[in-house]
Amino acid sequence: MPSDAQHTRGRDRVVVINWDPEDIGLLRSLERACADVELICVGHHDPRYIDRSIESETSRPQFIYRRGQVDNESIDRFSEFLARELEIHSASAVIVLPHHGRSEPDAFSRLACAAIKRACGDEPVPNIVVAVDDPEAAFEFAGHGVATIFYDGFLRSALMAHACVDLAVFRFLVELIERRHSVRLLPIPEGLRSKSFRDACVELERDDAGRPITLLGLYSPPSHGERAAGSRLRLNPGPRTPLRDAAGLVALTASPRRA
């Protein structure tokens, strides 16, 4: 387990807050999903406890562990820790897990989100994904820059529903989850900037690696100073939709084969 939190420039960085050794499966999933990712975990355990807890793991993910947590009295200190030591504003994404050692884990997750927002200052907040303990607490994260909220059973319930209603859609979702295919954000070629989504669908058949692609939609990022939740994903926007205001093309492509 690396201990140096100085990150490598040019790599995707995912920061996991309130991480516990029981969540090691999440790190494995992140490594499988991202071809080249730097994982930084923040938790309340002593680093020596972390080492002892995972020493028997045969397939140990590569990650950096830093000790830190937030409460009502330490939000300023935690914000400074995130800003100075982790450079949280430069992360690709931040995952906030429930702190199960607390009586109200979702309340402390909200504090963590507030600390992230404060640590980023005038910089846009990274995509924040929160796992909530109580689904009814999801609305309480409004205004904290949270992009997506998950709760136990959310994905399983959605997959079971699709399997019952439309098995083809279910199989498509499984393809994405198992990474045989993936949805990627591709840059818009300058020659297409003045054209429409239909033109892009006709002219773009393969990605830079030569893999066949199918365009699904357009992506517009948040404007400067706007929070990540201000981004827009437009699936099937219509053939006449202009490309000039979009930042990228959302495309379905086969995943690269791993060595």
Stated length of the chain: 259
Q: In what order do the strands lie in the sheet with 213-220?
A: 181-186, 248-254, 213-220, 232-235
Tell me, yes or no, whether 56 and 142 share the same domain: yes
Tell me, yes or no, whether 146 and 193 share the same domain: no
Q: Classify residue 259: in a domain, yes or no.
A: no
Rounded Cα distance between 169 and 190, Å, is 34
Number of structural domains in the chain: 2
Q: CB count, 10 Å around CB of 111? A: 20
**C-alpha distances out from residue 127 to 70, 73, 96, 106, 229, Å:** 19, 25, 11, 18, 8
CATH, residue 66: 3.40.50.720
> What is the per-residue pLDDT for 50?
92
Mean pLDDT over the full length of the chain: 84
Q: Which amino acid is at 106?
A: D
> What is the per-residue pLDDT for 222?
60
Tell me, yes or no, whether 131 and 189 share the same domain: no
Tell me, yes or no, whether 224 and 133 share the same domain: no
Q: Classify residue 82: in a domain, yes or no.
A: yes
Name the DSSP letter for residue 196.
B
**C-alpha distances out from residue 62 to 32, 59, 75, 257, Å:** 12, 9, 28, 20
Q: Distance between alpha carbon 19 and the CA centroid of its chain, in Å?
A: 15
pLDDT beyond 80 at 255:
no
> What is the per-residue pLDDT for 137?
79
**C-alpha distances out from residue 43 to 47, 66, 193, Å:** 9, 7, 45
Q: Classify residue 174: in a domain, yes or no.
A: no
Q: Classify residue 172: in a domain, yes or no.
A: no
Tell me which of 130, 151, 172 is where a domain ends. 151
Burial status of residue 178 (CB atoms within 10 A of its CB: 0-12, 13-18, 19 or more)? exposed
Tell me, yes or no, whether 138 and 198 share the same domain: no
Tell me, yes or no, whether 145 and 27 share the same domain: yes
* pLDDT above 70 as % of the chain: 90
Tell me, yes or no, whether 124 and 39 share the same domain: yes
Tell me, yes or no, whether 122 and 28 share the same domain: yes
Q: Classify residue 146: in a domain, yes or no.
A: yes
Tell me, yes or no, whether 72 and 143 share the same domain: yes
Tell me which of 151, 168, 198 is where a domain ends. 151
> What is the per-residue pLDDT for 256?
66
pLDDT (tens digit, 9 = 90+) per residue, 10-67?
468 999 999 999 999 889 888 877 767 899 999 999 999 999 988 887 778 899 999 9
Q: Classify residue 225: in a domain, yes or no.
A: yes
Q: What is the mean pLDDT of residues 225-249?
A: 79
Query: Highest mean pLDDT: which of 22-26, 72-76, 147-151?
Result: 22-26
> What is the per-residue pLDDT for 232?
79
Q: Classify residue 165: in a domain, yes or no.
A: no
Tell me, yes or no, whether 199 and 136 share the same domain: no
Domain of residue 198 covers: 181-254
| Model confidence band, residue 85 (pLDDT cutoffs 50, 70, 90) | very high
Tell me, yes or no, whether 17 and 116 share the same domain: yes
| Model confidence band, residue 173 (pLDDT cutoffs 50, 70, 90) | confident
> What is the per-residue pLDDT for 229?
47
Which of 69, 48, 46, 57 lies closest to 23, judged by CA?
A: 57
> What is the per-residue pLDDT for 70?
87
Q: For residue 228, what are the contacts with CB-CB under 8 A and spacing of at least 6?
A: 124, 125, 126, 127, 128, 145, 147, 222
Residue with tokens 């830190």: 68
Strand partners, 220: 232
* pLDDT above 90 as % of the chain: 44
Task: Determine contact, residues 96/113, Cβ cutoff 8 Å.
Answer: yes
Tell me, yes or no, whether 196 and 110 share the same domain: no
* Lowest mean pLDDT, pick from 66-80, 105-119, 144-158: 144-158
Strands 248-254 and 213-220: antiparallel
> What is the per-residue pLDDT for 243?
95
pTM of the model: 0.69
Q: Classify residue 168: in a domain, yes or no.
A: no
